[in-house]
A = this chain, B = another copy of it.
């Protein structure tokens, strides 16, 4: 008998470790897409150009000398993942682990199905993953959910029950459906199988780079913390540093604030445009991010910076992303704290930075609203259509790196 190794992970390993992520990846690889990794010379140049003093006016960095980082981005495109988001990884993993549970099939687990509460990508991901194994999925959604999200969940045969909009109503409705169906609860992020599944995006990213490239860091969005903590597990045995990014609007940066005060912040009430990041960090992700110290730092970004980063991705990378997906890029482009770290630690050689684009589910109507408010050329912050971007190949589009 051989001992488990990266090439041959122990299939029963669900520990919150790199080995656990490797085992998850082996299990879900046939079920998910190997999403591409893209590079973009224009965004590298933009990120490697100091912001102007006037750009910093009106921010917390007004009057500071702008940082001079050198950055090379490696974008892991989970907007191309099944259901349009990395959430498929955790959902498929959770379903596969459920099917492996001793006695589950015999005890009628398949018929009882799974249940969750979500109005977003997790609802669709769990519905799809359950459907692929012919397992019913019960989804509790607030009755105020947008019709498009309800329709998308129904497309994957998710069985929707509406709750009131409050967390209490959601919890009581979930409990009610669970008591009726005896379905297994699969939460959106606060669960080891979900976290290990989420960590597989970074595992793939590290394996997709050219041999001469070693990532100095990976930055991911942080909502409930599943993606950030999973990424941290993946990198825990590597030299790659892990960073999180959050919107600051109405205190959505609960993880960042929690890390500063060494206290999990359990409640967040925000309507940030990064709608996948409105939830507070869960306890299990927090134990990885904070208690085990596997995340170096978390940075906040403004709503305006999220819009600017989105516009740049649309105009330069030519791919469709949702607002939550670009907060890591926004931090790398606009957060002077993070940019200062890269300048100090990367020096003239700079950093290779992995950036996980978490999803691409944004309605075209919402998109028009999001980007239309900005007006032409807001992406560069300097006028119309890219005048703010230095360099010659301004509209050079992304290049496949794998």
Give CA–CA (A36, B131) in the complex, Å. 30
Q: Does A23 contact B (CB under 8 A)?
A: no
- Option from B132, B155, B384 in Cβ contact (under 8 Å) with A394: B155
Complex alpha-carbon distance, A138 and B366, angstroms = 40
Give A177-210 interface residues, CB cut-off 8 Å to B: none
Q: Is A163 an interface residue (CB 8 A)?
A: no
Instruction: Let me know if B393 and A156 touch, CB within 8 A.
Output: yes
- The interface residues of chain B lying within 8 Å CB-to-CB of A288 are none
Partner of A364, one of B82, B314, B361: B314
**How many angstroms between the C-alpha atoms of A81 and B318 in the bound complex?**
10
Q: How far is the CB of A264 from chain B (nearest CB, A)?
A: 33
A383: which B residues are within 8 A, CB to CB?
151
- Residues in B with CB closer than 8 Å to A257 are none
* Residue contact A372 to B368, C-beta cutoff 8 Å: yes
Collect the chain B residues with CB atoms within 8 Å of residue A398's CB. Answer: 80
B-chain residues with CB within 8 Å of residue A311 when the two chains form the complex:
364
Question: Are B156 and A392 in touch, CB under 8 angstroms?
Answer: yes
Chain A interface bracket (under 10, 10 to 19, 20 to 34, 35 or more):
35 or more
A151 touches B384 (CB 8 A): yes
Say yes or no for A35: interface residue by CB 8 A criterion: yes
A84 CA / B394 CA spacing, docked (Å): 10
CB pair B80–A395 under 8 Å, yes or no, is no
Using a CB–CB cutoff of 8 Å, the interface residues on chain A facing chain B are 33-36, 79-84, 124, 128, 131-132, 147-148, 151-152, 155-157, 311, 314-315, 318-321, 360-361, 363-365, 367-368, 371-372, 376-377, 383-387, 389, 392-400, 402
Q: What are the 8 A-B residue pairs with the smallest beta carbon separation, nearest first?
A: A368-B368, A155-B394, A148-B385, A318-B320, A318-B360, A151-B385, A80-B397, A364-B371
